[in-house]
Amino acid sequence: TIGIQEIGEYLQLWHMIEHTTLSAEPDHLLWKWSSKGTYTVQSAYLATFHGSTACDAWKLTWKCWAPPRVRFFHWLAHLDRCWTADRLARRGLQHPACCPLCDQAPETLRHLLLACPFSRQVWYEIL
């Protein structure tokens, strides 16, 4: 049976193609991501990022004077990919109930880097 939704879709399709005329010429492909209409690897690569926004935050991580292990940790932290207890819990893996440094709050990346009293003391001594 045909429902109201199907009839609505049919009418929409009808309105989209009612002014289309067919010709005897063979069809040809047109690549909309290049000005000439032809496919290139470069145009496909650029189309991958169409509509995305540029962010220069990577320069802060990879173009700084810090040692590679620090830059790698910063990159993981920026992507929220550090294996803290909350991340382990999301995957059903064993994890400590509280922060192993202060034993006061759940272990999250934000807590470990900014809120933990132990970390705050370390930051105070460094800065």
Quick: pLDDT tens for 7-46.
999 999 999 999 888 889 998 889 999 999 999 999 999 9
Q: How far apart are the first and last CA of the chain?
A: 72
Convert the pLDDT of each residue in 90-126 to its tens digit: 999 999 989 999 999 999 999 999 999 999 999 999 9
Rounded CA separation 48/26 (Å): 29
- Predicted confidence band of residue 49 (pLDDT cuts 50, 70, 90): confident
pTM of structure: 0.54
